[in-house]
Amino acid sequence: MSNTPHQLAEEFPEHAAKMHALKMSDTHFAKLFEEYHDVNRAIHRAETDVEPVGDTHMETMRKQRVVLKDEIYGMLTKA
């Protein structure tokens, strides 16, 4: 497991099998999943001052992560 917080497998452990299946069968889900991880990694790097960003950019990235997480969760619960 990664040291980056907010990984989807940690956020939704009960949906791990569904996440894997959807990544393999649904290109839209796979794209959302990858986009979520990209944003999450960027936030983690900013929070740990590896790649600092301004407050406005950090807020934008956090909002984007929430939107992606909500959409992913919606797809997981409908699958």
Spans of the chain below 70 pLDDT: 1-3
pLDDT at 17: 96
pLDDT at 79: 76
pLDDT at 18: 96
pLDDT at 1: 38
DSSP class of residue 12 equals -
Task: Express each pLDDT in 22-40 by its tens digit.
Answer: 999 999 999 999 999 999 9
**CA dihedral of 11, 14, 20, 22, whole degrees rounded to 10:** -90
pLDDT at 15: 96
According to the 3-state scheme, what is the secondary structure of 20-75?
HHHHHHCHHHHHHHHHHHHHHHHHHHHHCCCCCCCHHHHHHHHHHHHHHHHHHHHH
